[in-house]
Amino acid sequence: MEVLRYLLRESKTGMAGLAIILAFISMALLANLIAPYDPMNAVLGDARQPPSPQHPLGTDELGRDLLSRIIYGARTTFLIAVSSTFTAFAVGTALGILSGYLRGAVDAAVNGGTQILLSLPGIVIAIIFVALWGPSLVNLIIAIAIGFIPVYIKLMRAATLQVMSMEYIQAAKMLGLSNLKIMVRHVLPNVLPVGIAQLSTDVGFAILTASGLGFLGLGLDPSIPEWGAMIGSAKNYIFVAPHIIIEVGAVIALSAIGFSLLGNALRDYIDPKRR
Amino acid sequence: MNLKPLFFIGKRLASMALIVVGVVIILFFLLHLAPGNPAQILAGFQATPEVVHQIEVKYGLDKPLYVQLMTYLTNMIRLDLGTSIMSQRPVTDEIMARLPNSLMLATVAIVEAIAISLPLGVLAAAKAGSRFDAAVTAFTSIGVALPTFWTGLMLMLLFAVELHLLPAGGIGGPQNFILPSITMAVPISAPIIRVTRNAALEVLEKPFVKLAIAKGLSMREVLMKHVLKNALIPAVTLIGLQFGVLIRSAVITETVFAWPGIGKLLVDSIFARDYPLVQGTVFVIAIIYVAINLALDVAYVVIDPRLRSGVSTEWRF
């Protein structure tokens, strides 16, 4: 709540981001109510029509209504983006806290793994993984998540080290609380805010990565309305029917901008020095 | 003579080698544990089992995994990355033919990004709170959020297809650099502006800057002499940290503009299941990454002698 008050008062851009995200989320939830057409309904006679009164955003290469596909597509695209960032967040937070709390050998091992993951850029892992293991929903989520893990490990480890120097951690240790209890009850709640700001930014990046994979032909099955997959089939018609890729790309950009604006505002909120 | 810097660099070199070996091992398993028999894919699905077996023997795919891994690692140390299945040429030749193209494009993009970002970031800080500042800050959120393939395609549609001003793709004269380098510069410039603006804001608060202003130096001189110089270090640091973003935009940009670099090579080789070429390309990307970070670490030690005491910079942000 305090965050909301801050955004309302101090950050117009953060509020704009939040508004964009909420608009997209309600669009995804209400897809079956607001979409004018069935997103799977192909009318080959209407293929690749530019925007018209019947089809406000035109039709795709199989004559399906683009607006309806974009509205339904938000569901799958957000599912992929949110699941992959939360997976990375959970794994990265666990490893980061363990590494910062236990130090020693665990720290060294986690550090080594992080360095290796960092030198294998996320997009490279994602391309290899999806190309070889197949572009299923789960594989896409895993592939995108792997690339985000090192960022969370680094963030959370640094935040844990800061928390560790606080007196209440020393006190909890002296009281004889188990390491697990201290990590879950005292370290985790104090490092979470740092991760949440990053989370917002990364959901946007995940949407971008998914659409990039789609562009390379590594999206879901093209019959499924998903933004990345739509990009993958639209790029073959870029000179014949540029409106498809222009519109879908603009929607992807707008949603990613929403998450990026909110993420930056949240980061400023957590670290007032940067305001 | 103080040997500490040498020890520091030696230690970093050793950990760099370990990281690269780790990358190779992870990549090896990612490729070899994937479903599907690569020999079958190479031979085509109508191929007889005999043909498939011949291919397995030819590429050593019939040997146990750990033998294949050891063979690969020992060859790698001799810088023998094998032979590309697609072209039947040595992988090193294939990569060396493409690497300069990628490095040139990335360098142009980074130079453009810095040339735009530093002045924008410093000016935004000098005019903090103004409309200009708000516009620049908004751009930093928008720039990172534009899908690279989309920026590239929009530039291509506008300047190549509609206006016929610039080539739509391929490599050639300097005019071929313009669209792809701008496409790559957009996502990296946004965070550089952000960091420069924050650094400049901090520097503007410092007593020596206030003194310079009080001494009667014009704002322009203060910004040029003091603020820009001090904002440079965080900006340069960021480029090392932006490596992942750079590779992502290189892969996509090179595909959009048919640029014969290693990003496109990687995509092509993965689709062709050309495992030696995939391994070689990722190996080179990993080496570039650790090399950039080593260079940055050395640069920090030179800039900031406090780090020479051996304090690890590995976990810096």
Walk along chain A (275 residues) and give the pLDDT tens digit of each residue.
Answer: 677 777 777 778 888 999 999 999 999 898 888 878 788 777 777 777 788 888 788 787 777 888 888 899 899 999 999 999 999 999 999 999 999 888 888 898 998 888 888 888 888 888 888 888 888 899 999 999 998 999 899 889 988 888 888 888 888 888 888 888 888 888 888 888 888 878 888 999 999 999 889 888 888 888 888 888 888 888 888 888 888 888 999 999 999 999 998 988 888 887 755 54
CA A71 from chain centre, in angstroms, equals 18
Of B148, B153, B266, the CB nearest to A212: B148
B218 pLDDT band (50/70/90 cuts)? confident
Domains of chain A, each with CATH number or no CATH:
2-36+55-274 (1.10.3720.10)
Verify whether the Cβ–Cβ distance A209 to B248 is below 8 Å.
yes
Domains of chain B, each with CATH number or no CATH:
99-271 (1.10.3720.10)
Verify whether the Cβ–Cβ distance B30 to A132 is below 8 Å.
yes
Q: Going by C-beta distance under 8 Å and a sequence separation of 6 or more, which residues neighbour residue A223?
A: A40
C-alpha A90/C-alpha A158 separation (Å) is 16
Verify whether the Cβ–Cβ distance A121 to B15 is below 8 Å.
no
Verify whether the Cβ–Cβ distance A17 to B141 is below 8 Å.
yes
CB A99 within 8 A of CB A157: yes
Token duo for residue B106 = 């990335």
Q: Going by C-beta distance under 8 Å and a sequence separation of 6 or more, which residues neighbour residue A177?
A: A185
pTM for this prediction: 0.87
Chain A residues within 8 A of B271 when measuring between CB atoms: 131, 217
Chain B residues within 8 A of A111 when measuring between CB atoms: 314-315
C-alpha A271/C-alpha A155 separation (Å) is 13
Verify whether the Cβ–Cβ distance A204 to B34 is below 8 Å.
no
Question: Taking every pair of C-alpha atoms in chain B, what is the biggest distance, in angstroms?
Answer: 86
Chain B residues within 8 A of A257 when measuring between CB atoms: 141-142, 145-146
Q: Which tens digits make up the pLDDT trace of B249-268?
A: 899 999 999 999 999 999 99
Q: Least CA distance to A210: which residue of chain B? A: B147
N residues, chain A? 275
Residue B133 has pLDDT above 60, yes or no: yes
Backbone angle region of A55, left / alpha / beta, with phi > 0 → left and psi within -120 to 50 → alpha: beta
B214 pLDDT band (50/70/90 cuts)? confident
Q: Which tens digits make up the pLDDT trace of A111-155?
A: 888 888 888 888 888 888 888 888 889 999 999 999 899 989 988
Name the phi and psi angles at A115, rounded to 5.
Answer: -60, -40
pLDDT at A251: 93
Shortest Cα–Cα distance, B1 to chain A (Å): 31
CB B307 within 8 A of CB B299: no
CB B197 within 8 A of CB B124: yes
